[in-house]
Amino acid sequence: MKWITRERPKIDRIACPWLIRRFIDPEAEIIFVPFEQVLEKAAALPATPFDIPGVEYSHYDDKCTFDYFLLRHNIQDKALERIAAIVRGADTDRHDFAPQSAGLEAIFAGLAHNIRDDHALLDLGMVIYDGLYSWATHLYSHKHTQAGPAEQMLLTVLHQYLGRKNKQKVPQWAMELKAILQDQVDSNMAANLKEVSKELDLNPAYLSREFSKYFDNMSYGDYMRKLRIDKAISLIETSDYSLTEIAYLTGFSDQSHFTRIFRLHTGTTPSDYKKSIKKSKKSSNG
């Protein structure tokens, strides 16, 4: 499912996509566009708009959009309630809601200043909110002593961001899942996270929460798109298929979707990439 909001996210528009992918829609595609284009693009795609005035998923009373997602989808989780207070305080400049709000606002204000790519900011935000969720689940009641909640959360974020999993044994289900996902891409099949969870005999919520730890800090949907783009690159380099055929063979619904995701992952369009490959082959043959 597609979800769309205004560009240049900071607090709520990072927290909500994290909540969507971790607890509501693991394969969600998050789209950022200029404010004045949100509703038009939402209708055209179609996509569900959030965190703008006049739509269902938005602020209400003194609550923010993150609160509405919890209410709308009846998500009852004490850790998420703690995070909601922090997000609400940071997003509405009401730091009395939670003492951590000021810190969260400062972190994302700085990151948004340094990172101009909205999806790159979201990727890092996913890691930060994973760390915050671990704190809100296990460490929120600890005093500020050695290895207290602040230090532990920062270490958790750092270890995840740098991919330091060498001391963590990869579970059997993750190895099986990697093979399953590669088979799906190779055979041009598609299964959602619930279907895969059933095949592995795992709880979908658990799999959604743990997935990024063993798959390059990516959500299920992002990882599958990466595999498809890797396959597309291989087909462009080694076959005579047209780009339309390659889009079909790699599981993309249409050419424009294929082009947009390809550009997101490679920084160029499939057409320009194909031209560069042909040019490179001519140069090497010459």
73, 57 contact by CB (below 8 A) = no
Mean pLDDT value of segment 228-242: 91
Q: How far apart are CA 213 and CA 210, in angstroms?
A: 6
Instruction: Examine the pLDDT at 233 and tell me if it is beyond 70.
Output: yes
pLDDT at 165: 44
**Range of lowest pLDDT (122-131, 141-150, 207-216):** 141-150
Mean pLDDT of 141-152: 54
Q: Which residues are CB-neighbours of 134 under 8 A, at least 6 positions away?
A: 152, 153, 156
Of the chain, the end-to-end C-alpha distance in Å amounts to: 47
Please tell me the distance from the alpha carbon of residue 148 to that of residue 150, in angstroms, as a whole number.
6
What amino acid occupies position 139?
L
- Decide if pLDDT at 86 tops 80: yes
Closest alpha carbon to 206 in 188, 224, 193: 193
pLDDT, average across residues 20-25: 95
Q: Tell me how far apart the alpha carbons of residues 274 and 180 are, in angstroms, rounded to a whole number.
A: 29
Q: What's the token pair of residue 106?
A: 């400062």
Instruction: Give the pLDDT score at 37.
Output: 95
Q: Which residues of 228-249 are buried (b: 16+ CB within 10 A; e: fewer)?
A: bbebbbebbeeeeeebeebbbb
Q: Which residue has the higher pLDDT, 102 or 148?
A: 102
List CB contacts of 143: < 8 A, sequence separation 6 or more. none
Q: How confident is the model at residue 150 (pLDDT cuts 50, 70, 90)?
A: low
99 touches 106 (CB < 8 A): no
- Euclidean distance between CA atoms 24 and 161, whole angstroms: 23
**Could you give the CA distance from residue 260 to residue 266 in angstroms, rounded to a whole number?**
10
Segment 101-114 mean pLDDT: 91
* Least confident interval from 34-43, 119-128, 160-169, 249-258: 160-169
Q: Report the pLDDT value the prediction gives residue 172, as an integer from 0 to 100.
A: 84
Lowest mean pLDDT among 69-73, 125-129, 160-164: 160-164
**Mean pLDDT for the chain?**
86
Q: How many CA atoms lie within 13 A of 179 on its CB side?
A: 6
All domains in the chain, ordered by first residue: 2-161 (no CATH), 172-279 (1.10.10.60)
What pLDDT, on the 0 to 100 scale, is given for residue 164? 47
Q: Are 228 and 251 in contact (CB under 8 A)?
A: yes
**Between the CA of residue 242 and those of 50, 75, 236, 252, 255, what are the distances in Å?**
37, 45, 8, 14, 11
Quick one: pLDDT at residue 163? 54
Residue 124 is predicted with a pLDDT of: 94
Residue 166: pLDDT band with limits 50, 70, 90: very low
Q: What is the pLDDT of residues 192-204, one digit of tens each?
A: 788 888 888 888 7
pLDDT at 268 over 50: yes
Angle at 84 between CA 80 and CA 86, to 5 degrees: 120
> 11 vs 159, which has greater pLDDT?
11
Q: Give the integer Cα–Cα distance in Å for 7 and 105.
A: 17
Q: Cα(241)–Cα(146) distance, rounded to whole angstroms? A: 59
> Residue 63: pLDDT above 50?
yes
At residue 28, the pLDDT reads 94
